[in-house]
Every structure is written in C-alpha cells, then in structure tokens.
C-alpha cells in the first residue's frame, strides 16, 4: 500500500516514477519505455493496450493508453489515415463515450493544445490534446467530457493514444530508448 502511494504521488507531482520504483521495459516497434511494473500490457486490435488502473463498469474501457502501429494509423480518422491536425478516431461510426459508455462521443472534439514533444533522444512526436464531449444517442449534449492526448511518430509509425490523461506518460515517452 505504501509503495503504491509513493508511486502515485511521484507520478502526480513529477510525472515520473518514484526513485527506486520497480519498472519494466515495454518495447513496441523499436521504442522501449520503462513503465511501472504494476501496469498491465495486453494486445489489442492495432497494437497494445497498457492498463494503468482500475476498470470502471460504466467506462468504455479500463484506464490506460494505447500504442498503435501502422494499421491503426491507417484507419485513424473515420476509416481514413490519421492526420496530426485531426482527432484520432478509429472506426467509421459513433464511439462510446469513454467515461460512460451509455453516451457517445461528440465528433470532432475541440483542439486544446498542439506542438512537438520529446520521444527519446533526438526524437520528437507531434502532440495534440483534444476535449471530447459526450452526448446521448439522440444527440443531446451532456456536461460529460474527457481529454484525449495523442503523440504521433510518423517515421516510426507509432501513435500513442491516451484518453485517461495518464499521469507521467509524457515523461515516460520523453525518456524512450530506440533500437
């Protein structure tokens, strides 16, 4: 319990795992990240889903982020290739609202931030943050929304898709190593 609190506090305050916190390597398409050992990694349709926390019954998926490869990038915007100036939205139709699957995403979201972010020594990722609202199936707006963060590395064909504002993820990506 104390170790979990130290890791959580360190991630929240500094964006990095606590000194001495156990990590494990996660390699995807030549990029290696050092992630907390408590995070669980599972294969999904287009890459990996890194589960960083609990799974709420109402949520569309467990807390975490996705590492997406070329196929997922090629279908990253309503069945068309992902573009760094647009929200990542794989699939052709409505998507369940992440925090509460009873609702659907309002598409497109509102761009809040964009620019370049470090992704290991000498590499930069195109970075964007979107506010995604949620509405009823009939289109009635709700006050529910979430932030979608995307890091895109076109040369490496990697897209990091984070809908839960995972604490420390930017720092972890900034310290990525490459093979």
Delimit the domains of the chain by residue range.
23-178
Q: Name, in order, each residue with C-beta under 8 angstroms of 122's C-beta and a sequence gap of 6 or more.
A: none
If you ran DSSP here, which 8-state letter would residue 179 be given? Answer: -
- The per-residue pLDDT for 111 is 96
Distance (Å, rounded) from C-alpha 81 to C-alpha 72?
A: 8
Distance (Å, rounded) from C-alpha 85 to C-alpha 55?
A: 30
SS3 77: strand
- The per-residue pLDDT for 133 is 92
- The per-residue pLDDT for 4 is 40
Nearest to 6, CA basis, from 164, 15, 17: 17
Rg of the Cα atoms in the chain? 16
Nearest to 27, CA basis, from 161, 158, 166, 165: 158
**For the whole model, what pTM was predicted?**
0.85
In the chain, which ranges are E strands? 23-28, 31-36, 40-44, 47-51, 64-68, 104-105, 110-118, 124-135, 141-153, 158-162, 177-178
Q: Name, in order, each residue with C-beta under 8 angstroms of 115's C-beta and a sequence gap of 6 or more.
A: 127
Residue ranges in 46-168 assigned as alpha helix (H): 70-74
List, run by run, the mean pLDDT of 10-residue segments along the chain (179 residues). Answer: 39 48 95 97 94 92 95 85 88 81 87 97 96 90 93 97 95 97
Placement of tokens 């995807």 in the chain: 28
- The per-residue pLDDT for 6 is 39
């Amino acid at each position: 319990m104390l170790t979990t609190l130290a890791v959580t506090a360190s991630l929240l305050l500094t964006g990095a795992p606590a000194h001495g916190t156990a990590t494990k390597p996660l390699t995807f398409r030549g990029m290696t990240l050092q992630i907390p050992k408590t995070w669980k990694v599972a294969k999904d349709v287009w890459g990996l889903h890194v589960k960083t926390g609990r799974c709420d019954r109402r949520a569309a998926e467990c807390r975490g982020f996705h590492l997406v490869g070329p196929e997922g990038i090629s279908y990253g915007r309503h069945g068309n290739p992902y573009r760094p100036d647009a929200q990542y939205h794989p699939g052709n139709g409505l998507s369940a609202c992440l925090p509460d699957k009873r609702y659907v995403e309002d598409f497109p979201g509102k761009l809040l931030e964009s620019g370049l972010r470090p992704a290991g020594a000498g590499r930069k990722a195109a970075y964007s943050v979107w506010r995604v609202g949620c509405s009823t199936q009939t289109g009635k707006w709700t006050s529910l929304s979430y932030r979608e963060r995307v890091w895109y590395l076109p040369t490496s064909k990697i897209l990091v898709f984070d809908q839960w504002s995972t604490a420390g993820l930017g720092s972890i990506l900034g310290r990525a190593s490459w093979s």
